[in-house]
């Protein structure tokens, strides 16, 4: 049980560093509430699941090719810049009144998914972290326990997403309209900053 809990804590620690997903969750939580913020995180976790599976079955070499790296940096830059600009445009439209024209939940889900799946850092992250965990766990435990401990990592990821969604959606209840707009504006700038960084990496990948 202690080992299982340690893998849940690992999942929490992996999700905690501030990045584009957390910034997007804050923005969605302020604008549309808890479920939308959580679905951004769920979408990201689905992308994480795909990369964990890729590492598990050992076909990560394909994702490590120059073409795929360039494509992912470029696509990731587009997704982040689009989401960031959209956040800036909508920041001035924030209101403390309930939002009756909320976007569909599936859009929040897809937003988190594409932000994570198009991030080459996610590949390197899971290759380095999960790859080493996989090697260590496979040497010490049976395959059934490997699946169990991998699912514990996912529980940790989902717990963090649930916490972030709760925090971001509660902002709307306790903060003033001007402060809500300011936080949403900062979230948008953060996403654009990540998008610019991804774009620079794509240019470096293309031109060497």
Q: What values do phi and psi take at 41, rounded to 5?
A: -65, -40
Based on the structure, what is the number of domains in the chain? 1
**What pTM value is reported for the model?**
0.71
Select from 197, 198, 195, 191 the least CA-distant residue to 91.
191
Half-sphere exposure (CA, 13 Å, Cβ side) for 93?
12
Write out pLDDT tens, residues 81-133: 887 888 788 766 655 455 545 678 899 999 999 988 887 777 766 766 666 66
Q: Do 157 and 16 touch, CB atoms closer than 8 A?
A: no
Half-sphere exposure (CA, 13 Å, Cβ side) for 87?
31
Q: What is the pLDDT of residue 196?
A: 92
Is the pLDDT at 19 greater than 90, yes or no? no
Tokens of 6: 């340690």
Neighbours of 154 (CB within 10 A): 16
> How far, in whole angstroms, is CA 156 from its chain's centroid?
14
Q: What values do phi and psi take at 96, rounded to 5?
A: -80, -10
Q: How far apart are CA 108 and CA 143, in angstroms?
A: 34
If you average pLDDT over residues 196-204, what whole number do you get?
A: 89
Where residue 200 falls among pLDDT bands split at 50, 70, 90? very high
Max distance between CA atoms of the chain, in angstroms, equals: 55
Q: What is the pLDDT of residue 132?
A: 65
Q: Which domain holds residue 101?
A: 2-207
Tokens of 22: 């957390």
Where residue 64 falls among pLDDT bands split at 50, 70, 90? low
Buried b (16+ CB within 10 A) or exposed e, 54-74: bbbeeebeebeeeeebbbbbb
Q: Which residue has the higher pLDDT, 159 or 88?
A: 159
């Amino acid at each position: 049980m202690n080992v299982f809990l340690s893998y849940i804590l690992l999942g929490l620690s992996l999700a905690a560093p501030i990045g584009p997903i957390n910034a997007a969750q804050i923005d969605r939580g302020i604008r549309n509430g808890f479920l939308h913020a959580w679905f951004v995180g769920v979408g990201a976790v689905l992308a994480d699941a795909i990369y964990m599976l890729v590492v598990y079955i050992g076909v990560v070499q394909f994702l490590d090719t120059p073409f795929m790296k360039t494509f992912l940096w470029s696509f990731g830059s587009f997704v982040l810049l689009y989401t960031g600009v959209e956040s800036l445009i909508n920041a001035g439209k924030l209101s403390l009144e309930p939002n009756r024209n909320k976007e569909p939940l599936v859009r929040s889900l897809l937003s988190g998914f594409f932000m994570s799946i198009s991030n080459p850092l996610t590949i390197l992250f899971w290759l380095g972290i999960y790859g080493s965990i996989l090697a260590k766990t496979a040497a010490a435990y049976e395959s059934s326990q490997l699946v169990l401990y991998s699912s514990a990592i996912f529980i940790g990821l989902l717990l963090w997403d649930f916490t972030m969604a709760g925090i971001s959606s509660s902002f709307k209840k306790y903060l003033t309209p001007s402060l809500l707009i300011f936080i949403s504006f900062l979230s948008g700038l953060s996403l654009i900053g990540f998008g610019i960084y991804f774009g620079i990496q794509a240019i470096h990948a293309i031109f060497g």
